Amino acid sequence: MIYEIPLNYGNQKFNIKLGATQYKLQLIYRASRWYLDIFDTAENPLIAGLPMVAGDNLLAQHQHVIKGSLYVLNIDEDESQSFSDLGENIKLYWSDS
């Protein structure tokens, strides 16, 4: 099953359950691109600075940390990113299979 992770406008940090585990996600816009950081519930960093690139599983290289998949969909034709795109043109999806 694939689930859309609800995103708001602008930089954000929120708790979310991915699979059976609770995490804290942080999305920050810097250097003309969105980046994702993943923390445990005590805010210890697990994965830092993942560029939000469409198409590939963001967690492919991190299966030893988090089992599952995170995918980005960017509906901008040129896949450009701006600060106002998150949640509107840029979406994040989770799959635990």
What does the pLDDT read at residue 42? 97
Task: Please give the tally of structural domains in the chain.
Answer: 1
* Tokens matching residue 30: 């810097």
pLDDT score of 61 more than 90: yes
Q: What is the pLDDT of residues 12-35, one digit of tens each?
A: 999 999 999 999 999 999 999 999
- SS3 breakdown of the chain: % helix, strand, coil, rounded to 5? 5, 50, 45
Q: How far apart are the C-alpha atoms of 32 and 17, rounded to whole Å?
A: 28
pLDDT score of 92 more than 90: yes
β pairing state of 69-74 and 45-51? unpaired
Determine the structural domain holding residue 15 and report its residue range: 2-95
What does the pLDDT read at residue 55? 87
> Chain-wide mean pLDDT for the chain?
95
Secondary element (H or E) of residue 12: strand 12-18
Secondary element (H or E) of residue 22: strand 21-30
What does the pLDDT read at residue 31? 92
Q: What is the pLDDT of residues 4-17, one digit of tens each?
A: 999 999 999 999 99
- Rounded to two decimals, what is the model's pTM? 0.93
